[in-house]
Amino acid sequence: MKTTELRNKDVAGLQTEIKELQRAHFGLRMQKATQQISNTATLRIARRDIARAKTILVEKQSAETSAK
Protein backbone atom coordinates (compact mmCIF):
# COMPACT_ATOMS: atom_id res chain seq x y z
CA MET A 1 0.00 0.00 0.00
CA LYS A 2 1.28 3.44 -0.84
CA THR A 3 1.92 6.06 1.78
CA THR A 4 -0.26 8.59 -0.01
CA GLU A 5 -3.24 6.28 0.36
CA LEU A 6 -2.51 5.85 4.07
CA ARG A 7 -1.99 9.56 4.70
CA ASN A 8 -5.45 10.31 3.25
CA LYS A 9 -7.11 8.14 5.92
CA ASP A 10 -8.08 9.32 9.35
CA VAL A 11 -6.94 7.70 12.60
CA ALA A 12 -9.86 5.26 12.77
CA GLY A 13 -9.35 4.27 9.15
CA LEU A 14 -5.68 3.64 9.80
CA GLN A 15 -6.46 1.47 12.79
CA THR A 16 -8.84 -0.70 10.77
CA GLU A 17 -6.29 -0.89 7.96
CA ILE A 18 -3.63 -2.09 10.40
CA LYS A 19 -5.98 -4.78 11.70
CA GLU A 20 -6.68 -5.97 8.15
CA LEU A 21 -2.98 -6.03 7.31
CA GLN A 22 -2.25 -8.00 10.46
CA ARG A 23 -4.92 -10.56 9.55
CA ALA A 24 -3.45 -10.89 6.08
CA HIS A 25 0.05 -11.31 7.55
CA PHE A 26 -1.25 -14.01 9.91
CA GLY A 27 -2.76 -15.87 6.96
CA LEU A 28 0.53 -15.68 5.10
CA ARG A 29 2.39 -17.00 8.14
CA MET A 30 0.01 -19.95 8.35
CA GLN A 31 0.51 -20.64 4.66
CA LYS A 32 4.25 -20.61 5.21
CA ALA A 33 3.93 -22.98 8.17
CA THR A 34 1.92 -25.46 6.12
CA GLN A 35 4.22 -24.96 3.12
CA GLN A 36 1.42 -23.69 0.90
CA ILE A 37 3.01 -20.35 0.05
CA SER A 38 4.98 -20.07 -3.15
CA ASN A 39 6.33 -16.53 -2.82
CA THR A 40 7.74 -15.93 0.65
CA ALA A 41 8.62 -12.33 -0.22
CA THR A 42 4.98 -11.43 0.39
CA LEU A 43 5.63 -11.93 4.11
CA ARG A 44 8.25 -9.19 4.07
CA ILE A 45 6.00 -6.90 2.06
CA ALA A 46 3.12 -7.44 4.49
CA ARG A 47 5.38 -6.74 7.48
CA ARG A 48 6.61 -3.52 5.94
CA ASP A 49 3.08 -2.42 5.05
CA ILE A 50 2.08 -2.89 8.70
CA ALA A 51 5.09 -0.89 9.87
CA ARG A 52 4.36 1.86 7.35
CA ALA A 53 0.75 2.14 8.49
CA LYS A 54 1.74 2.17 12.17
CA THR A 55 4.29 4.90 11.54
CA ILE A 56 1.73 7.12 9.83
CA LEU A 57 -0.77 6.41 12.61
CA VAL A 58 1.73 7.57 15.25
CA GLU A 59 2.51 10.68 13.19
CA LYS A 60 -1.19 11.56 12.96
CA GLN A 61 -1.79 10.91 16.66
CA SER A 62 1.17 13.04 17.70
CA ALA A 63 0.02 15.82 15.37
CA GLU A 64 -3.42 15.73 17.00
CA THR A 65 -2.03 15.93 20.52
CA SER A 66 0.38 18.73 19.65
CA ALA A 67 -2.47 20.69 18.03
CA LYS A 68 -4.48 20.61 21.25
Q: Show the domains of the chain with their CATH numbers.
A: 3-62 (1.10.287)
Q: pTM of this prediction?
A: 0.90
- Each residue's pLDDT expressed in tens, for the chain with a length of 68 residues: 789 999 999 999 999 999 999 999 999 999 999 999 999 999 999 999 999 999 999 999 998 888 77
**29, 43 in Cβ contact below 8 A?**
yes
List the one residue out of 13, 58, 22 whose CA is nearest residue 43.
Answer: 22
CB atoms within 10 A of CB 57: 18
